Structure 1
Amino acid sequence: MKRFFVIFSVVLVALFTLEMLNPVQEHVVVPFTGMLAKISAALVSPFDPNVMAYGKVLQFRDTGFAVSIEAGCNGVEATIVLVAAVLAFPASWKQRLVAILVGFFAIQALNLVRIISLFYLGDWNLEVFSWVHLYLWPALIMLDVLIVFILYLRHLSKSQMEAVHAA
């Protein structure tokens, strides 16, 4: 257990440090965040043609209300926590890679729901938007990370048990 926490902490600090570097922000994080805004608009526009995206902003054409997807709201930090946990737990590199990829998509799928729901909540009621943005969604995103990690651990346990029975 001590080994897990040491590796988890080192990887977490390293990845957060890497994420904060200007070249990483400029060439990876900001373009990725802009892509989230475009995907959000693409998901909503068949139902609501008044939605558009530019840069990292999602905006209503008619009312002008907009949200900007900022650091901490793009799922990058949640993914970093998952990656650190997966890398810290002993498993094959193939199992780790699969867990990271599946986890990334699970986090981003929920994050798109988060972005779109906050966009509509903000247009409807800024007080409700603020509470949901600051308290509810951060907890749900981290719960998603925890669930993905627990499912990964269960999968590892199951595959280890199958290996023992096969031997």
Structure 2
Amino acid sequence: MLRFFLTFVALQLSLFGINMLGVVQQHVVLPWTALLARMCAALVTLFDTTAAAAGKVLWNTATGFGVSIEPGCNGIEACIVLFAAVMAFPASWRHKLTGLGLGFVAVQGLNMVRVISLFYLGQWSTPVFNFAHEYLWQALIMLDVLIVWLLWVRSGNKARASSEPASSATAAA
């Protein structure tokens, strides 16, 4: 348990440090954030043609209201926490890669729901938007990370249990 914790903390520190580098911000974080805004706009325009994306902003072309997807709101930090937990946990590389891929999709999928909901909440009520942005969605995204990680750990335990040979008592029967 201590080894997991120390590895988890070391990986987080390393990944957050890398995330803060100017070159990573410019060539990975900002393009990802702009892509996130475009993906959210594409989903919203399926039922609301007034949505558009400009850079890292999802905005309403009719009202002019927009939400800017800033650091901490693009899902990267939540993915860093999940990735550190997956990599620190003792599991096969195949299982870790599965956890990283599916975990990324789960966290970013919920983050898209978050951005879109904030886009509409902000047009409806500023106090509700502020509460959802500052408290509700912060907790829900971290809860998503925890649940995804726990499901991943559980799936690894089930796979490991089903691949173990039968016990001698079972084999004798």
TM-score (norm 2): 0.94
1:17: which partner in 2? 17
Partner residue in 1 for 2:170: none
Which structure: larger Rg?
2
Tell me how far apart the structure 2 counterparts of residues 25 and 94 of structure 1 sit (CA, whole Å): 29
Q: CA RMSD in A?
A: 1.0
Please give the secondary structure, in 2, of the residue aligned with 1:165: coil
Secondary structure at the counterpart of residue 109 of structure 2 = helix
TM-score scaled to structure 1, two decimals?
A: 0.98
Report the count of equivalent residues. 167
Return structure 1 stretches of 4+ with deviation > 4 angstroms: none
Alpha-carbon separation, structure 1, partners of 2:110 and 2:165? 37
Partners of 2:163 and 2:80 in 1: CA distance: 30
Task: Give the letter aligned to residue 142 of structure 2.
Answer: M
Q: Which residue of 2 is the match for residue 72 of structure 1?
A: 72
- 1:3-14 matched pairs, under 5 angstroms: 3-14=3-14
1:43 and 2:73 matched:
no
- Identical residues among aligned pairs (%): 54
The C-alpha deviation readout for 1:98-118, integer Å capped at 9, x for no partner, is 001000000011000000000
Give the letter aligned to residue 97 of structure 1: L
Deviation of 1:164 (Å): 1.7
- Mapped to 2, the partners of 1:127 and 1:4 lie a distance apart of 40
- Corresponding residue number in structure 2 for 1:96: 96
The 2-side partners of 1:69 and 1:76 are apart by: 11
Q: CA deviation at 1:160?
A: 1.5
CA distance in 2, matches of 1:166, 1:27: 51
Q: In structure 2, what is the equivalent of residue 157 of structure 1?
A: 157
Q: Which residue does 2:62 correspond to in 1?
A: 62
CA distance in 2, matches of 1:10, 1:166: 38
Shift in Å, 1:166: 5.4
